[in-house]
Structure 1
Amino acid sequence: MDEQAETLREVEHELTALLRRGRAVSWEVAREVHPNLEPNAYGLLLWLRRYESVRLTDLAARLGIGKGTLSRQIRALEALGLVRRAPDPSDRRASQLSLTEEGQQRFDAARAARLGHIRRVLESWPAHDVAEFGRLLARFNDAWS
């Protein structure tokens, strides 16, 4: 077996372990935001927190999911009082999505706990390794899409 193939297998193994842990953490963090929140909805809240206000179609394109699927997920977040949908002033057919004040507060509290865990995991790493890790993860994610 050549060295590159073995290296790729190791990357796949570590990525699988990371994703498995990520799913478990997503369940925990979702419950911290709201007891009835689906785990995959944390990622939606993360994007809404980043953009503050975004069109549903733009968010669907960024996430690579269909508008219908996203709309169903957003309706569930609206029902929990975490997200609001408002008419887009530039296009009445579209809507702008944003976190409610409660959604923002709950998300920020859960995110602080998650960042604290990440900080504890990486605290023994040199700062340049943490920066490089972040840079490489961003590069990987950009190439994946």
Structure 2
Amino acid sequence: MPSPGGAEREFLSLERELTVFLRRARSNQTEMAREVHPDLESAAYGLLVRLDECGRQRATELAAYIGVGKATMSRQLRALEDLGLVAREPDPADGRAWLVHLTEEGRGRVGKVREARRASYVHRLADWNPDEVAELARLLNHLNRSMER
């Protein structure tokens, strides 16, 4: 098999580095979920972060954002309600729909974990130039937007 050319080599390197990054991210997400609540599924952590950042959302919007079906979202929301982290309220724009939001308990727990994560990034990237951190954030945003298409 011939050795890969320059561009192909770069994409192989990208694939390898993303694989390592995603493996670490999954592991970190599991840890962060447990810090929010010992019984929290790791997949639900992203849902809590979305609610923290965007406020009240319909379950269908959350399902679309996370990339799961309505039944899966309903199960996750029920579990989060049982843990006291989220609550539902009727959507004033559509009486058949519900809006989901973090409870005060949920907001406090998620905020504490997110702050600890940011502090960890500050510590781990202390030897980075702030412009490098900004460039990494910009490139990750660009990658995420490209993946949405």
TM-score category (smaller protein):
over 0.9
> Are 1:105 and 2:112 matched, yes or no?
no
RCO higher in 1 or 2 (8 Å CA, sep ≥ 6)? 1
Shift of 1:127: 1.0
- How many residues were matched structurally? 145
For the pair 1:80 / 2:83, whether they are aligned, the reply is yes
Could you tell me which runs of 5 or more consecutive residues in structure 2 were left unpaired when the two chains were aligned. Answer: none
Q: What TM-score results when the alignment is normalised by the length of structure 1? A: 0.96
In structure 2, the residue matched to 1:140 is: 143
1:18 to 21, 30, 34: 21
Match of 1:130 among 121, 128, 133: 133
Task: Say which one has the larger Rg.
Answer: 2
Secondary structure, aligned partner of 1:81: coil
- The share of aligned pairs that are identical, in percent, is 47
Structure 2 CA distance for aligned equivalents of residues 83 and 52 of structure 1:
11
C-alpha separation in 2, matches of 1:65 and 1:33:
22
**Offset of 1:64 from its aligned partner?**
2.3
Q: Tell me how large the CA RMSD over aligned residues is.
A: 0.9
Deviates more, 1:23-32 or 1:55-64: 55-64
Matched, 1:70 2:73: yes
Runs (4 or more) in structure 1 with deviation over 3 Å come to none
Could you tell me which runs of 5 or more consecutive residues in structure 1 were left unpaired when the two chains were aligned: none
Equivalent residue of 2:101, what SS?
Answer: strand
The TM-score with structure 2 as length reference comes to 0.94
1:44 and 2:47 aligned = yes
